C-alpha cells in the first residue's frame, strides 16, 4: 500500500513535469515570436539600417508586399488575434466576444503569452499605465479586448509585463506563441522609427545569443499600420532559423495581418476562426523546419 501510494505520487510528479513544457512540434517552426512597432510607412521603414541588416542576414526575409488592415491602431491589433476587426474603427475600449487565436492554440495545448512593456499585470483593464504615463496602452493590447481572455483569470494571467520575458528565457520557458508589444516610446509611436529601431537592436541582439529564445523560432517583425503615406503598406520581416530565403531576401507575395493568423494555423494544424484568416495567404513560402 505504501509503495503503491508512493508510485502514484511519483507518477503525478513525472506527469506534471512532462506536460508543463511539452513542445507541440510545428510544420515550419516550433515557436513564433511577434514584435510589433507603430505608424511607419514601408518606404521609410526599409531605409532603417538595422532592418536592412537583419533582412540581409542568412535567415532574414523581407515580406515586401505586406499591408495593414485599416486605421487607427486597435483594429489592426484585433485583426492579428481575431481574424477580423470585429467592427472596431477607433481606439476606444471594447469587449469582443467570439473565438480568437488563443482558443485554437489552447485546444492543441500550445503555450502562449502576451508580453506588454510597462503592463501592470493582474488583468489590468485600464487604458494606460503606469499612472501619469502613456507607456502601456490598452489600444495596443488586443488580448485584453477578448472577453474569453479578460473574464478568465487563468487566461488573463498570460498577459504579462515584458519583464517576464527574461525570466522565461532564463528558465527556458518562452511559450510557443509569444506576442511582444513594446511601450509607446520603444515602438516608435511617440518617438519615431529611428528611436524604435535603436531600441530594437539593443534589445534583440543580446537575446539572439540565447538558444532558449531562438531554437526553432520564427521571429515576425511588423508594424501595426503605416503613417497614412502609402495605402497602409508596412514593413514586415521574418527572421530566424526556419527562414531559408532566396538570394534577394524578398518575398513579394501579397500578405496582410490575417496572414499572421493563417501561418500560425497552418503551422500547427489549428483549423481556423472562420473569418478573414480562412482565405489569407500564409507566409510559408521560404520556411523550412530545421
Ligand atoms: C540589404 O542591404 C542593402 C544595402 O544596405 C539594401 O539596399 C537592401 O534593401 C537590403 N535588403 C533587404 C531585403 O532589406
Ligand atoms: C468591458 O468589461 C468590463 C468588465 O471586464 C467592464 O468593466 C467594462 O465596462 C466593459 N467595457 C465596455 C466598453 O463594455
Ligand atoms: C511587388 O509587387 C508589386 C505588385 O503587386 C509591385 O508593384 C512591386 O514593385 C513589387 N515589389 C518588388 C520589390 O518586387
Cα 270 from Cα 143, distance rounded (Å): 19
Q: Are 185 and 128 in contact (CB under 8 A)?
A: no
Q: Is the CB of 97 under 6 A from ligand 2?
A: no
Q: Kindly report the pTM of this predicted structure.
A: 0.93
Q: Which of 32, 50, 41 is nearest to 200 (CA)?
A: 50
How close is the Cα of 78 to the center of ligand 2, in Å?
17
Cα 57 from Cα 90, distance rounded (Å): 37
pLDDT by 10s per residue, the chain, length 290: 445 454 544 444 444 444 446 899 999 999 999 999 999 999 999 999 999 999 999 999 999 999 999 999 999 999 999 999 999 999 999 999 999 999 999 999 999 999 999 999 999 999 999 999 999 999 999 999 999 999 999 999 999 999 999 999 999 999 999 999 999 999 999 999 999 999 999 999 999 999 999 999 999 999 999 999 989 999 999 999 999 999 999 999 999 999 999 999 999 999 999 999 999 999 999 999 98
Q: What is the residue whose three cell numbers read 514586415?
A: 236
Fold for the domain defined by 26-268: Alkaline Phosphatase, subunit A (3.40.720)
CB under 8 Å, gap of 24 or more: what pairs does 161-164 form?
A: 161/115, 161/116, 161/117, 161/118, 161/119, 161/120, 161/121, 162/115, 162/116, 162/117, 162/118, 162/119, 164/113, 164/115
Domain ranges of the chain: 26-268
The 10 Å Cβ neighbour count of residue 194 is 14
The best mutation among 43, 55, 252, 254 to test binding of ligand 3, ranked by most ligand atoms within 8 Å of the C-beta, falls on 252
Cα 175 from Cα 247, distance rounded (Å): 31
**Nearest bound ligand to CA 151?**
2
Q: Are 159 and 149 in contact (CB under 8 A)?
A: yes
Amino acid at each position: 500500500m505504501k509503495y503503491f501510494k508512493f508510485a502514484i505520487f511519483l507518477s503525478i510528479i513525472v506527469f506534471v513535469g512532462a506536460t508543463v513544457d511539452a513542445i507541440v512540434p510545428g510544420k515550419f517552426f516550433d515557436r513564433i515570436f511577434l514584435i510589433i512597432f507603430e505608424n511607419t510607412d514601408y518606404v521609410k521603414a526599409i531605409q532603417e539600417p538595422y532592418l536592412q541588416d537583419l533582412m540581409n542576414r542568412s535567415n532574414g526575409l523581407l515580406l515586401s508586399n505586406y499591408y495593414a488592415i485599416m486605421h487607427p491602431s486597435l483594429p489592426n491589433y484585433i485583426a492579428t488575434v481575431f481574424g477580423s476587426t470585429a467592427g472596431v474603427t477607433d481606439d476606444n475600449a471594447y469587449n469582443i466576444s467570439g473565438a480568437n487565436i488563443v482558443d485554437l492554440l489552447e485546444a492543441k495545448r500550445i503555450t502562449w503569452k502576451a508580453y506588454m512593456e510597462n503592463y501592470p499585470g493582474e488583468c489590468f483593464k485600464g487604458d494606460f499605465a503606469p499612472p501619469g504615463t502613456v507607456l502601456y496602452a490598452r489600444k495596443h493590447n488586443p488580448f485584453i479586448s477578448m472577453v474569453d481572455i479578460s473574464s478568465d483569470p487563468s487566461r488573463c494571467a498570460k498577459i504579462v509585463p515584458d519583464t517576464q520575458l527574461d525570466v522565461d528565457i532564463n528558465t527556458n520557458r518562452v511559450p510557443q506563441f509569444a506576442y511582444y508589444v513594446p511601450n509607446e516610446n520603444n515602438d516608435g509611436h511617440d518617438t519615431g522609427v529611428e528611436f524604435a529601431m535603436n531600441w530594437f537592436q539593443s534589445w534583440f541582439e543580446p537575446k539572439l545569443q540565447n538558444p532558449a529564445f531562438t531554437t526553432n523560432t520564427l521571429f515576425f517583425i511588423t508594424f501595426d499600420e503605416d503613417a497614412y503615406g502609402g495605402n497602409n503598406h508596412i514593413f514586415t520581416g521574418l527572421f530566424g532559423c526556419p527562414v531559408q530565403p532566396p538570394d534577394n531576401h524578398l518575398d513579394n507575395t501579397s500578405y496582410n495581418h490575417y496572414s499572421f493568423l493563417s501561418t500560425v494555423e497552418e503551422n500547427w494544424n489549428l483549423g481556423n476562426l472562420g473569418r478573414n484568416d480562412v482565405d489569407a495567404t500564409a507566409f510559408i513560402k521560404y520556411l523550412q523546419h530545421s
